[in-house]
Structures are given as C-alpha cells and as structure tokens.
Amino acid sequence: MLYILSGQDDFSIYQSLEEIKRKMGDPTMLVTNTTILDGQQLTLDQLKTVCDASPFLAEKRLVIIKGLLERFESKGKPSRRKKAASTDNSQNEAKLLAEYTGNIPDTTILVLIDGKISSNNPLLKGLAGAQMRSFPLLREPQLHQWIQSRVARERGSISPQAVDLLAKMVGSNLWIMSNEIDKLILFTAGRRIEIEDIRKIVSYAQQTNVFAMIDAILESKAGLAQKLLQQLLQGGASSAYLLAILAHQLQMIVRVKELRNQRKSQQEIQDRLGITSEFALRKTLEQTGVYSWERLKEVYHRLLEADLSIKTGKYDDELALNILIAELCQW
C-alpha cells in the first residue's frame, strides 16, 4: 500500500499519518517495524532493502520517506546541455523508483511525505494506484470550519465573532492554532469562547513579527521587510490581515503623536487608545518617537493606494502587499 501526503499544512499531514498508524494495530510493535528515510538522499537499492524486509512479530511494517517527491521538482534554469542531461537522469531515476513502488510487498505500508508538489512531477506521474491526500494551508471559510470543529471536538463552544478574530490573529498554522484553542478551552472552563477571551489569551508571537516588519518598512530595509513578510505568510497569516494590521498600527502611531503633542501622559494615552498589551504600547511609543510626519504620511497614502487596488480588482491582496512593501522601501 502506498500513501502520498503532501502540502504546506504539516499539522494535517501529521494527523493523517497518525490515522494510518492507528489502523496498523499494536503501537508498541509498530515502533520496531517503522523506518524513516530521507528522500533527498535515498537510493533505489536502499528503498528495496527496507521495503522488502519482513515485519518483526507483526503483520505490517511502515516505511516513511520525507522529501522524495520534492527531489524531482524542477529547480532553477540550468544551461541547455546540463538541463537535458539532468532531465534524462531524473526521469530515468523517477521511472525506476515508481516501478518498484508499484511492486512493494503487501506487508509494507509506504508513506511519502512532501510539501507542495506540482502536477508535472515525474515521480508523481508514475505512482499509479497511490492513495494521495493533499493538505494546502487552510483559508477562509475552511479555516473557520476547522476552528469550529476543533473546538467542538474538545467539548467547547465558540462564537462566530471569536472564530473570525482567532483566524485573523493566528492564521493557517494549525500547530499554533490547536495550541491556542487548547489554552482557550482551559481558560473558559465550559463557557462559550468570546472575543475578549481571544484578546486575553492568544499569544503575541505573530504580533512581534508584525511590529518588526513595520519597523523595517519605515526604515526602508527592503530585504528584512520582505523576509519578515514571507515568514508571516508561511506561518499562515493572510495578506489581507497583514495589510489591515499595518494600516491600524500606522493610525495608532499618528494618534499617539497627536496625544503627545497635547502633553498627555503615557497612562492617558493607553487609556484613550485602549491598548491592553504592554508590548504593543511600548512598540507604538518607540515608533512614534522615531518616525517623522512626512514619512508616516507617505506610508499612509501608499496604504490607501494598495487598499484601493485590491477593492477594484487591480491586484489580489498578496500581490498588492508585496508591491506596497517594495515601493515603500524605495522611498
């Protein structure tokens, strides 16, 4: 039996693998009958040696290969001669591996675990009969449904407004999401999870990176800003959310500047703006003292342009955010 578990949602991949393991029987015996291999270094002979081995005191053995399909993904643009030779070798290797996986013993369960795989992957094309399960990062409304399902499974309940806020704050990283849900279930102790619970309990790890990205943008550090942006997107944060939080933080900086000009105390500023996070207050005060009115006005106008380009359909939200950061860091 051959399974292919692929995609960027490694939490769901892990859950699917655990489901396969449960169906194989005694977990104690499965430990001694499980082999994990690195697909980037694997040879055909190594694969045959492992898969052809008989299970020890059990009916099945489990072989997990990580990154084998990714190894056959096209990379870069080599010279024409090198590309032809490389393509021939790769396709021949993929063909031999595919032929063998179609003839593995019935006593072996083979699971390939990979990231995002293209449909023209030469090895994937040859794996006929495999049970393929794809796990892309969840976006709305699927993410909302997943949150509701996870909360219900933990015997809790959550309001629609809290679901929406939790999805925006955490994004599509289900490892972090499941951890935050567990904390919320314990905190609410049987009552429904509401927006205020999200604001009190959900961690500010992602917010730290958001502030760092804003600093990099305002300081015209293009490389750092793009790096932080990619980390946030890979962590599951939606580009629409990042655009909104960038606009919100800019508004907060402007309001703090105005209140400081009115000689308001730090406590008065915190009370007026309703900032409950000490980290958020400290960062906003720091940014207020560093950036000029001219710089803030320029960033704000660019934000309005990006928002308009999304709403009119000129760009999708992720492209608009990338263009925005590139333009701001050139200013």
Which of residues 182, 201, 220 is at a domain's end?
201
d(CA 249, CA 134): 36
State the DSSP string of 250-309: HHHHHHHHHHHHTT--HHHHHHHHT---HHHHHHHHHHHHHS-HHHHHHHHHHHHHHHHH
- The strand pairing partners of 132, in sequence order, are 4
Helix/strand/coil for 312: coil
CATH code for position 72: 3.40.50.300
Q: Are 196 and 248 in the same domain? A: no
Which of residues 108, 134, 160 is at a domain's end?
134
CB 16 within 8 A of CB 135: yes
Q: Are 184 and 253 in the same domain? A: no
Burial environment of residue 267 by CB neighbours within 10 A (0 to 12, 13 to 18, 19 or more):
exposed
Is the pLDDT at 112 greater than 90? The verdict is yes
Q: What is the pLDDT of residue 176?
A: 82
| CA nearest neighbour of 274 among 257, 252, 247 | 252
Q: Are 106 and 46 in the same domain? A: yes
Distances (CA, A) of 317 to 223, 226, 271, 310, 311: 20, 15, 33, 6, 9
Number of domains in the chain: 3
Q: What is the pLDDT of residue 77?
A: 52
Q: Are 179 and 227 in the same domain? A: no
Residue-level length of the chain: 331
Q: What is the pLDDT of residues 272-303, one digit of tens each?
A: 877 755 667 777 888 787 778 888 888 888 88
**Residues 6 or more apart in contact with residue 77 via CB below 8 angstroms:** 83
Q: What is the pLDDT of residue 242?
A: 78
Average pLDDT over residues 78-100: 70
Which range of residues forms the domain containing residue 288?
205-328
Which of residues 163, 178, 201 is at a domain's end?
201
CATH code for position 222: 1.20.272.10
Q: What is the pLDDT of residues 156-172, one digit of tens each?
A: 999 999 998 888 777 77
Q: Which tokens sit at 81?
A: 């001669």
CATH code for position 172: 1.10.8.60
Q: What is the pLDDT of residue 239?
A: 72
Is the pLDDT at 154 greater than 60? The verdict is yes
